[in-house]
A = this chain, B = another copy of it.
């Protein structure tokens, strides 16, 4: 391998983000390269959750809806996520799941483009996005969902029937990063609205929803944002659309006067109309604890380190002669590296037994996520070293690595 472990140690010593590692409670002996699936536990989260459970719920009980700010959390957490996605105030709320929020913005967007019938979504999107597009267009009379073979085919398919284009900013398998500004412009020039799924980019790189003129976006908080398993999702609706937008999951949290208990729905005037009902407070406060860290993290530094870590990993695994599915150009790459191997599943399992946790996506992708707040350069060296040993030794052929669980 080209770089030595000592050189990597020197990079760690000079890393301006190195101090963040202590903010996370990672297990001993583990190199965690799956923060693009489930982010690590922030060290202060357990105490914040304990306080929520034992004091706010247990002792203050129902009064916490007012006194502890529970009722406002979907808004206050949204305001804290806004800078991470380049959004001015009043355009982000934290609620429900990515799929549910996509349902809301997709129906809202379709209604803003009456006369157009088509939702265009990339075939390689995380499948739940496609399933939700099917669900929406199956319900809204006269609309249809069409698969885009790849983002490169977009221009040829942007006809006057396209109401909405839905794309992932970073591909969940290959880690390819799309050109948000350019694609959004072309979609809007064709008269359609643009929805971005930023699940795999938020917290991994700077996002500029406002500057790119994006119409709507959805994202999750349990990957790079470290909100915890199943932590609440968020949605962005550009201020210019909020007055005219309407979404059908019109629950009481989005009502203009929820505590008047009126039988007729009247939405809040702004982003609040995208709320539906009571969120999990445990999930919301755990996310809040994680966002405390993000308030001190410089996204430009995060991006610089992400590119350095992923470059280093590609360089170190080059002798293994595996196909790198992730684009090499930095402007086309998120914060993960995907390597193809026909027996990727057992290879990943063998790595996990060695304490190097990545994951596998069918049919042949080994995914390694690099989260700059808690992964260092020596971790990358060690992970590449283990991968080389697993492949050279053939240990992945052992029967125990070939039994699949429900989640692979």
Whether B261 contacts A135 by the Cβ 8 Å rule is no
* 29 A-B contact pairs sorted by A residue (CB < 8 Å): A25-B54, A27-B61, A32-B61, A38-B57, A53-B286, A57-B228, A61-B357, A97-B251, A100-B249, A103-B249, A127-B252, A127-B255, A127-B261, A128-B277, A131-B250, A131-B251, A132-B251, A135-B249, A139-B139, A139-B140, A139-B248, A222-B278, A228-B280, A229-B282, A230-B278, A230-B284, A232-B280, A259-B406, A280-B283
A361 CB-CB contact with B under 8 Å: yes
Whether B99 contacts A25 by the Cβ 8 Å rule is no
Whether B41 contacts A46 by the Cβ 8 Å rule is no
Q: Taking CB as reference atom, which chain B residue is nearest A41?
A: B58
Q: How far is the CA of A44 from the CA of B107 in the complex (A)?
A: 42
Q: A61-B27, A62-B357, A259-B407 are in contact. Are A228 and B53 (CB under 8 A)?
A: yes
Q: A259-B407, A278-B222 are in contact. Are A62 and B34 (CB under 8 A)?
A: yes
Task: Give the contacting residue for A66; candidates B96, B286, B405; CB below 8 A.
Answer: B405
Q: A49-B282, A282-B280 are in contact. Are A250 and B135 (CB under 8 A)?
A: yes
B residues within 8 A CB of A30?
Answer: 61
Q: How far is the CA of A58 from the CA of B64 in the complex (A)?
A: 27
Mask of A87-118 contacts with B, CB within 8 angstroms, 1/0:
00000000011111001000100000000000
A168 CB-CB contact with B under 8 Å: no
Q: Quick one: copies of this chain in the complex?
A: 2
How many A residues touch the partner, as a band? 35 or more
Q: A72-B406, A265-B130, A282-B283 are in contact. Are A97 and B222 (CB under 8 A)?
A: no
Q: How far is the CA of A130 from the CA of B264 in the complex (A)?
A: 7
Q: How far is the CA of A357 from the CA of B98 in the complex (A)?
A: 36
Q: How far is the CA of A407 from the CA of B251 in the complex (A)?
A: 16
Q: How far is the CA of A276 from the CA of B128 in the complex (A)?
A: 9
Whether A100 contacts B34 by the Cβ 8 Å rule is no
Whether B49 contacts A53 by the Cβ 8 Å rule is yes
